[in-house]
Amino acid sequence: MSDRPILFLVFNRPEHTQRVFDRIREVKPKRLFVAADGPRRSRAGETDRCENTRAIATRIDWECELKTLFREENLGCGKAVSSAIDWFFSEVEEGIILEDDCLPRDSFFSFCDQMLEFYRADASIMHIGGSNFQNGSIRGDGSYYFSRLSHVWGWATWKDRWQKYDYSLHKYRDYPLKSLNKELLNLLKWVKSKHANTWDVQWLFSVWFNNGISVTPNVSLIENIGFDGGATHTRGVPPWYRKMIYGEICDLKHPTSKLVDGFADELVFKTHFRFNPIMERFKAVFRHFKHVLR
């Protein structure tokens, strides 16, 4: 049984939700929070899919305190997820966050549990990630390394760290941009252009602007199963995804150095964080007209 509260974020994909929920059921958390955005009324069949998904995500058959936040109207990915995490941390001091397409390995939960406890008093550690994008390269001498990048395919944090989050990034408007490289500058411009229906980029910048550090495992403890037509952002399978290495962390070893691994972050910038704001705007317009013409 897991002592850490879990926030399970779902929407309209019952098959994905079932697979992730089965993993959650295995660890039997004492407290489970389930949040779901409302259906888009213009999408045929979405109301039924949302209802089926919610039913799956709340099918508790163990001793557990269950709380739900089910939206009646559709807020969109950005607002729905960020407000759900706000709700989660209005109830708990620390916890694990999983989306319906993030399938955790067995040791993901114990890894998060240990990291939440070990770094609870260290305010410089703001994010505990479950994913690894190093293509098999081991960083440092521990089971994990330190990064400036906050990957959200299965992650955990504390209430006091999340309180630094700003969906609009308005509170960081005067932050000097000289610390941002080209990829981050493009990403920041994209978010501020109002074309981004996202929440995780704002979390990355909230961590970055507070000089926060992320814990990143040396193998990926999360498999993203959402690269299909039903996803909001992950539709095509990118080349770097095929190179991900999965595993378990059973005998946890803490690294001897707390230095951020700049080489590891640079690899992610060159692959995972390649970003073209013009192309992203084009894709957003294309998705809109594709929906209108249905």
Spell out the per-residue pLDDT of the chain, length 294, in tens: 678 999 999 999 999 999 999 999 999 999 999 999 999 988 999 999 999 999 999 999 999 999 999 999 999 999 999 999 999 999 999 999 999 999 999 999 999 999 999 999 999 999 999 999 999 999 999 999 999 999 999 999 999 999 999 999 999 999 999 889 999 999 999 898 877 789 999 999 999 999 999 999 999 999 999 886 554 545 568 888 888 999 999 999 999 999 999 999 999 998 877 654 443 443 443 344 334 333
Q: What is the pLDDT of residue 281?
A: 45
How far, in Å, are 46, 55, 72, 74, 268 from residue 42 at the CA level? 8, 22, 14, 11, 38
Q: What is the pLDDT of residue 196?
A: 78
Q: How far is residue 66's CA from residue 89's CA, in Å, rounded to a whole number?
A: 15
Q: What is the pLDDT of residue 3?
A: 80
Q: What is the pLDDT of residue 1?
A: 65
Residue 37, both tokens: 């955005």
Closest CA to 94 of 153, 157, 8: 157
pTM: 0.90
Closest CA to 193 of 269, 268, 275: 275
Q: What is the pLDDT of residue 285?
A: 38
Extents of the domains making up the chain: 1-100
Do residues 95 and 156 make contact, with C-beta atoms less than 8 angstroms apart? yes
Q: How many CB atoms sit inside 10 A of residue 53's CB?
A: 24
Q: What is the pLDDT of residue 274?
A: 62
**1-100 is classed in which CATH architecture?**
3-Layer(aba) Sandwich (3.40)
